[in-house]
């Protein structure tokens, strides 16, 4: 499996965990399943993109040779 594909799968499984947590927290605070679902949908879209970009930036640090890091 390529590093890029692995990163995509990792992002998806993390989103599932985090989104479930978000749904539970928002439902607990609002008592509205519709509100919790709406917030979770927005969270999935934005945070998946942000996480992927974050991982991509970190991968660029691995590409810098050790003697050039200082």
Q: Tens of pLDDT along 20-70?
A: 999 999 999 999 999 999 999 998 888 878 989 998 998 888 766 666 655
Task: Assess if residue 36 is contained within a domain.
Answer: yes
Q: Give Cβ neighbours of residue 59 (< 8 Å, ≥ 6 apart).
A: 3
Distance CA 3, CA 7 (A): 6
3-state secondary structure of 11: helix
Distance CA 47, CA 56 (A): 14
Distance CA 45, CA 15 (A): 9
Q: How many domains are contained in the chain?
A: 1
Task: Assess if residue 30 is contained within a domain.
Answer: yes
CB 13 within 8 A of CB 7: no
Q: What's the pLDDT score for residue 37?
A: 95
**Global pTM value:** 0.59
Task: Assess if residue 56 is contained within a domain.
Answer: yes
Domain range for residue 20?
3-65
More reliable by pLDDT, 64 or 3: 3
Distance CA 5, CA 51 (A): 14
Q: What's the pLDDT score for residue 43?
A: 86
């Amino acid at each position: 499996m390529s590093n890029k594909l692995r990163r995509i799968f990792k992002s998806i499984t993390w989103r599932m965990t985090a989104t479930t947590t978000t749904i539970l927290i928002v439902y607990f605070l609002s008592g509205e399943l519709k509100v919790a679902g709406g917030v979770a949908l927005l969270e999935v879209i934005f945070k998946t993109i942000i996480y992927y970009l974050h991982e991509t930036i970190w991968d660029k640090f691995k590409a810098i040779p050790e003697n050039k890091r200082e």
